Structure 1
Amino acid sequence: MSSLKQGEKTIQVSGLEASSRSLLIAHLFSSLTRPLIVITNTEESASPLFEDLRALSGENQVCLFPSWGIEPYELKTPYPENSGGRLECLGQLRRANPLLVVTTLKAVIEKTITPEVLEASSIMLREGIDFGHENLAAKLARLNFNRVPLVEEVGDFAVRGGIIDFFPNSSEYPIRIEFWGDAVESLRLFSINTQRSKRRLSEFSLWPQREFLIDRSELSRKLKSSPEMLSPESKELLRDERGFEGLEWFAPFLGIPQATIFDYLPKDTIVVPEEAELLASGLKDFIQLASSARSDMVEKYGPLPPLEASYFLPAEGDSGSEGNSLWETIDSYQRLNLEDLALKGDAIRIETHPQPSDSSLGQFKKRLEDYLSEGMEVFVCCANAGQRERIGELLDQFSGRVNLPVAELEGGFIFPEARLAVLTDHQIFPRHRIRERRRRFKEGIALQSYTSLTEGDYVVHIDFGIGKYRGLEPNTI
């Protein structure tokens, strides 16, 4: 930490096992009170790190900046859950308070809304403010909400007398605003299924529904004025009545301004790449995949923007890191590289070990006695208050000597040099643990039959979350 405070540009740390990485990151964030962004190679590694940091640093201090959730040049609109997470994170970065961001390589290179457009299109709704009933309805339409008779899914808004309902992608439930004249009288979360209020809100930050904005009249004008850049197939796709399907991929052709998450980061941000060589290798693989996907879609839809126009890359097909604007941008920040193995002689080696598995409670208790006899401070992290009570009863003989915090961590570790043992309750006995996937949206309209679906409808899969219905294909068995 002293090296970071002294302004050393790049620091390399290795030897961190299990959740010791999370603890180091949380400690640095707390001690330095500076923005910090962690870039992982995959969503699978970002998710447990994000959950660890939420437990260690607090939910309001940490945000996840996800990728669009779609394949390169798939020409689909990103999922509302992903767009909502991205826009909410960018909105938080616009505020003055330091933030700890967890993201992936793919999310970082995907272009996004510019800070200026986000600021101009965002609204802070509060009880008592004069905003105007008709003004809000017009604003929701400009932010790509769809006006419907009754709000049923994310992205809908409905007007009923002095009440406006809308379902933003940054909220777990839809929101109902009641007006008294032009003044906002109340804001409430409500249930789609029962239409009853769930909780009153004092204020709500309303972001756009997607990262690239354009109204229908402007889109029509640009479709007419760009005959060579856009094929008839592409124009037909963009005229989709449900909200300009695939707009994100054609943004460069339509002159829509673009930015990256780095345009939102202050200059004193600390960038933490996990396994820099893996990130470089992952970028090469991604460029090859995206180049191939683009070639396939060009055959079907005609001209498409090049890779460097849609992603934060230097030029189409350039898979090297030398001269890459992504790496140059990362290098412009103070950087903490986290590596599994020390590849350079000047790397800081922090010797930690993953939590051992014990075959019985007696063996675990003996291990605790060994740690305590060595003068180590011991923490047994519990997933919830109920589990803490249960573990406390099992370890009654260690009362006052072993700490039992409520913090669900991915994996325990031993840090001998610091005389620290951080253990997790789910590893006390060998058992498989599945971390429940955190869902952004809490409910939706249940279907009576699959025939109620039309292509383009958003649906929620019980295991995989938000998706878009693309129709049925008959298969011969």
Structure 2
Amino acid sequence: MSLREVLQALVTSEPFERLILERARPIVARADAGQDFLLAGLAVALDAPLMVVTPGPREAEELASEIGAYLGPEAVALLPAWDALPYEGMDPAPEVAARRADALRRLRTTVGPFVLVAPYLAAMQLVPPTLGTVPPLQLAAGVESAPDMLAERLSDLGYVRVDVVEHRGEFAVRGGVVDVFPGIARRPARLEYWGDEIERLREFSPSTQLSTKEMGAIEVSPVRELLPDDELRSIAARRAPEMPDRLRDGLQRLADGLRFEGADTLAPFLFDHMSTPGELLPAGSWVVLTQAQRTLQRAAHTHVEAEALAAAIDWPGPTMLAPLEAAIEGHVQLRLSEFTEGIDLAISGWGTAEGNPGELANRLECASAAGTRIVLVGRGHGSLQRAAEVVGDLPVERIEAPLASGFLF
């Protein structure tokens, strides 16, 4: 069995039906544990994209991984925030830009259950209308793409040509060999050519430059949010003279086809309209705020800081950070509370049983005697085996999946 099958118990339950039919806006609900279970079930029940906003990047990463255990990695995407406020003149790291492009591309194209998980800052930031519209390069053995042509395409996606590839967003060309480190790959890839055709792909270590294993194919996503074409360069040249010195220079360099730190922050001066990620959701979509009170408080504080910074540097363009509530308006909003308020979804944690094998075994025995269905989940085969020793002869279903903690429902 799979964890996705377990979701049916939630979707057909009375508390969940109350949640779906609730007419109050925003909807407030309480789930002491199992938020990954709840959100995956909500996406399945709605059969549509769902956006989840968390109080920070760590919570977003953990939640995306756990929702993926239920729905599969193809049905969930993490939208990370920039490492700095957009007024500070710093581009996002290549990995961040690549993940953002990948997440919004999948949001635009996926049909059916899909969960976009974003820390509050990512949900507030306006994005260029082109972000997520450029498809990644698909490279595999047998594909014809001459090294010089591939180098040009990689440059267009924001990759930087170097002598030795060590970091994401870099590539190198040495005769019939092209090394590239895709923005969201674990390790770089080495493409070996026979003429203009890719003959073999191998993963290699950036520290030793030695190949480690064969690869079937790789996907190379953009590593810059702003990918200027002739039209955007023309707009930059036209608007540069109207800007203050610090922005005039940047726009002129963009018009000249140059890449430089801070180029992505110039997007508001090139597009007439930029939207928040929430605006890209289909009509009728749901937006869920986890730890709602904390998320809203942090978002409000960050927005005040950003506005103060924009005023201090005399920012001449439109705002790049919307208030969180404005960024997600127009959708059904569900706020998950840490307190005793809202709809009780009857999902609770293990409490003191966590980390206590004896107490855990006793509770499971009582639950089994009461007719409760027990699903034992472990990150790997070894973890499941150790857990099975604690459970003993109790009737349990075993699933290997990366869940951080259990719950009762």
**In structure 2, the residue corresponding to 1:285 is in which secondary structure?**
helix
**CA offset at residue 94 of structure 1?**
3.9
**2:38 matched residue in structure 1:** 24
Contact 1:10 1:337 in 2 (8 A): no
Residue 61 (structure 1) shift: 2.5
CA distance change for structure 1 residues 132 and 10 in 2, over 3 Å: closer, same or farther? farther
For residue 160 of structure 2, what is the amino acid of its counterpart? Answer: N
Partner of 1:287: 303
User: 8 Å contact 2:55–2:295 — kept in the other structure?
Assistant: yes
Equivalent-residue separation in structure 1 for 2:159 and 2:273 (angstroms): 20
Residue 296 of structure 1 pairs with residue 292 of structure 2: no
User: Structure 1 regions of 5+ residues with no counterpart?
Assistant: 314-318, 416-477
Whether 2:94 is the aligned partner of 1:80: answer yes
Give the deviation of 1:233 after TM superposition.
Answer: 7.8
2:378 is aligned with 1:350: no
Change (3 A) 1:134 1:361: closer
Contact 1:16 1:340 in 2 (8 A): yes
**How high is the TM-score relative to the length of structure 1?**
0.70
1:12 touches 1:336 (CA, 8 Å); kept in 2?
Answer: yes
Q: Which residue is 2:84 aligned to?
A: 70
Aligned to 1:388: 384
How many residues end up aligned between the 2 structures? 390
- Aligned mates of 2:298, 2:340 — CA distance in 1: 20
Query: Do the aligned partners of 2:237 and 2:251 also contact (CA within 8 Å) in 1?
Result: no
Tell me: CA distance 1:365–1:171, structure 2 relative to 1, closer, same or farther (3 Å). closer
Take 2:394 and 2:293, find their aligned partners in 1: how far apart are those partners?
Answer: 44
Matched, 1:340 2:305: no
Out of 227, 237, 242, the position equivalent to 2:241 is 227
CA 1:363/1:146 → structure 2, altered by over 3 Å: closer, same or farther?
Answer: closer
Give 1:177's match in structure 2, choosing from 164, 185, 191.
Answer: 191
Q: Distance in 1 between matches of 2:279 and 2:184?
A: 21
Residue matched to 1:405: 399
Aligned to 1:153: 167
Report the Cα offset of residue 208 of structure 1: 1.5
Match of 2:317 in 1: 305
Question: Which of 143, 146, 151 does residue 132 from structure 1 map onto?
Answer: 146
| Residue 5 to residue 291, structure 1, CA distance change in 2 (3 Å) | closer
Structure 1 residue 264, shift from structure 2 partner: 4.4
Shift of 1:281: 3.8
Q: Any conservation in 2 of the 1:114–1:260 contact (CA below 8 Å)?
A: no
1:37 has 2:51 as partner: yes
Match of 1:105 in 2: 120
Q: Percentage identity across aligned positions?
A: 28
Compared with structure 1, are the counterparts of its residues 215 and 230 closer, same or farther at alpha carbon in structure 2 (3 Å cutoff)?
Answer: farther
* Alpha-carbon distance in 1 for matches of 2:71, 2:129: 28
The change in CA–CA distance for 1:255 and 1:412 in structure 2 (over 3 A counts) is closer
Using the size of structure 2 for normalisation, the TM-score is 0.80
Q: Is the 8 A contact 1:72 1:289 kept in 2?
A: no
3-state SS in 1 of match to 2:179: strand
5+ residue gaps, structure 2, are: 1-10, 12-16
Contact kept in structure 2, 1:127 and 1:184, CA below 8 Å: yes
Q: Secondary structure at the match of 1:189?
A: strand
1:15 and 1:349 in contact (8 A); partners too: yes
Question: Displacement of 1:169 after TM fit?
Answer: 1.2
Q: Is the 8 A contact 1:239 1:245 kept in 2?
A: no
The one-letter amino acid paired with 1:305 is G
Query: Which residue identity is paired with 2:52?
Result: V
**Structure 1 residues 60, 140: CA separation in 2 closer, same or farther (over 3 Å shift)?**
same
Call closer, same or farther: CA 1:261–1:180 in 2, change over 3 Å: farther
Q: Which of 125, 129, 135 pairs up with 1:114?
A: 129
Equivalent residue for 1:363? 359
Distance 1:221 1:158, change over 3 A: farther
CA separation of 1:294 and 1:238: change in aligned 2, threshold 3 A: farther
Q: 1:5 to 1:132 in 2, by over 3 A?
A: farther
RMSD: 3.6
SS at match of 1:366: helix
Cα deviations by residue, 1:368-411 (Å, 9 ceiling, x for unpaired): 22222222223343332212212222332xx2423443334333
Q: Give the partner amino acid of 1:384.
A: G
Partner of 1:466: none
One-letter code aligned to 1:50? A
Q: Which amino acid aligns with 1:414?
A: L
